[in-house]
Amino acid sequence: MPSKTASAGTSTPGSRCNSNSKISAFAGKSFLLNNPPVVGADGELVRIGKAVTQSLLPILDSRYKKLKLLQLEEEIRDLKNRLKLAARAAKSSKVIFQAPLSREG
């Protein structure tokens, strides 16, 4: 079953976003309520257009940056764990051959 995401409402099954990501869902009604109605034959379309160009793009940009930050933090945690594992393996490794140091004179 697809999980909820911040921007679209559902995600693909392989997506990393899930309902535990602490990013709230987009509230479309309150978004439009923050933009006053426009008088004219195409008033509602103009209203939606203004809402998208003036308000939605910064919101989407912010959400993209937040998701990218979460992804990078996850990668950093993974790399730290791999580094700890490599350090433990290096400490427990035996030296089976040590090349002689060359002396140039």
- Answer whether residue 97 is part of any domain: no
* Nearest to 16, CA basis, from 80, 61, 74: 74
Residues 13, 2: contact at Cβ < 8 Å?
yes
Supply the range of the domain harboring residue 48: 1-87
- Answer whether residue 101 is part of any domain: no
Q: Which two tokens stand for residue 10?
A: 């559902």
- Answer whether residue 99 is part of any domain: no
Total of domains in the chain? 1
Q: What is the pLDDT of residues 68-95, one digit of tens each?
A: 999 999 999 999 999 999 988 888 877 7
Q: What is the pLDDT of residues 38-70, one digit of tens each?
A: 677 787 888 888 877 887 888 889 999 999 999
- Answer whether residue 96 is part of any domain: no
- Answer whether residue 61 is part of any domain: yes
Task: Give DSSP secondary structure letters for 10-75.
Answer: ---TT-S--TTS--PPP-HHHHHHTS----STTHHHHHHHHHIIIIIHHHHHHHHHHHHHHHHHHH
